[in-house]
Amino acid sequence: MKKALVVFFLFLACGGNYQPNDVGSLSILEYPDNKDLNKWIEIDSQYAKVYQVRRYFENFVKDDFFEEEENKIEFGNLTWSDMSEYQKKYSELLNKYQKNYKDNKELTRFVDSVIMIEYPIIDDFVNKIFKFGYD
């Protein structure tokens, strides 16, 4: 009986929360192939939202923004996983402080100011993208 329990717990430990090391490790400047993206979404549905945001960013930049050497140097280490963590944290902060603000704009400004401290590279990335959109 003890052996069966040990095998059962080993099975759970090995199979329960398995996440390959490469999940989300691709630079946000690139797209994963569909097979990898679907695998990531199966592991964490947040990657579907990261994909939507990544596509949305393309509306604000010139066609070669994501291929430019300067941007690859500056943002090449920013990964899909980083963006996923950022989005989760942003949502968590919105929910946490929502009761403190009557106005959504004030709430968003507050969360923006808090999160940019924790994720300055994403703040720089997003600012650069939207800078191009409004020139």
pTM here is: 0.78
The DSSP string of 85-134 is HHHHHHHHHHHHHGGG-SSHHHHHHHHHHHHHHH-HHHHHHHHHHHHHHT
Q: Left if phi > 0, otherwise alpha if psi is -120 to 50, otherwise beta: which for 112?
A: alpha
Q: 32 is written with which tokens? A: 């994963």
* Domain regions of the chain by residue span: 23-133
Q: What tens-digit pLDDT sequence spans the chain (135 residues)? A: 434 333 333 333 344 444 455 889 999 999 999 999 999 999 999 999 999 999 999 999 988 999 999 999 999 999 999 999 999 999 999 999 999 999 999 999 999 999 999 999 999 999 999 886 544
Residue 22: predicted pLDDT:
84
Residue 54: predicted pLDDT:
96
Residue 7: predicted pLDDT:
32
